[in-house]
Amino acid sequence: MDSKDKLRKAGLRPTKQRMIIANILLDGVNRHFTAENLQDEINSSGNSMSIATVYNCLKKFRNCGLIKQIETSNDTAIFDTNTHQHHHFLNEETGELIDIEDDEINLKSLPKIPQGYYSNGVEVLIKLKKQD
C-alpha cells in the first residue's frame, strides 16, 4: 500500500502536504519525533512547510490513528509511528524515547475503572536520569 492509499484508508484526503509527511512517516520504520524534527526533515528533503502546517497535519494523522502522541511531562509533543500498545523509557535530559515491548511490563494490580468507563489502554513511561 502506498502513502496515498494509507491516507485514504485512514479517511484523510491525500493533499500535497499530507503526502509529503506520509512519505516520511509511513515508511514502516518506527520512530519518535517532534514536529520540529519532522519540519527539519521536510526542509532538508527540498520541500518547505511551516511549523503550523506540520502541527495541523500531525494532529489529523493522530486523530485518524496513523500515529500516536506520547504523553510526557515535557512541553514539546512527541509523536510515535508505532501505534501498537507499548511503553517507553524517557531520557529526561535529552527527551529521547526508547520503546518497551508491551509484554516486558507486568502490571499486577490496577485500580478499579470508574463506573461507566472501560480501559482504553495502559501506557507506562519510565523516566530516566543519569547516575553521577
**Residue 102 interacts with Zn ion (CB under 5 A): yes or no:** no
d(CA 25, CA 60) in angstroms, rounded, equals: 13
| Binding string, residues 13-52; x marks residues near Zn ion by CB under 5 A | ----------------------------------------
Q: Are strands 97-100 and 87-91 parallel, antiparallel or unpaired?
A: antiparallel
User: Which amino acid, residue 47?
Assistant: N
**Residue 56 interacts with Zn ion (CB under 5 A): yes or no:** no
The count of chain residues that interact with Zn ion, using the rule CB under 5 A, is 3
Of the candidate residues 17, 47, 72, 82, the single one contacting Zn ion (CB under 5 A)? 82
CB nearer to Zn ion: give 99 or 102. Answer: 99
The 8-class DSSP code of residue 102 comes to G
The 8-class DSSP code of residue 81 comes to S
The 8-class DSSP code of residue 125 comes to E
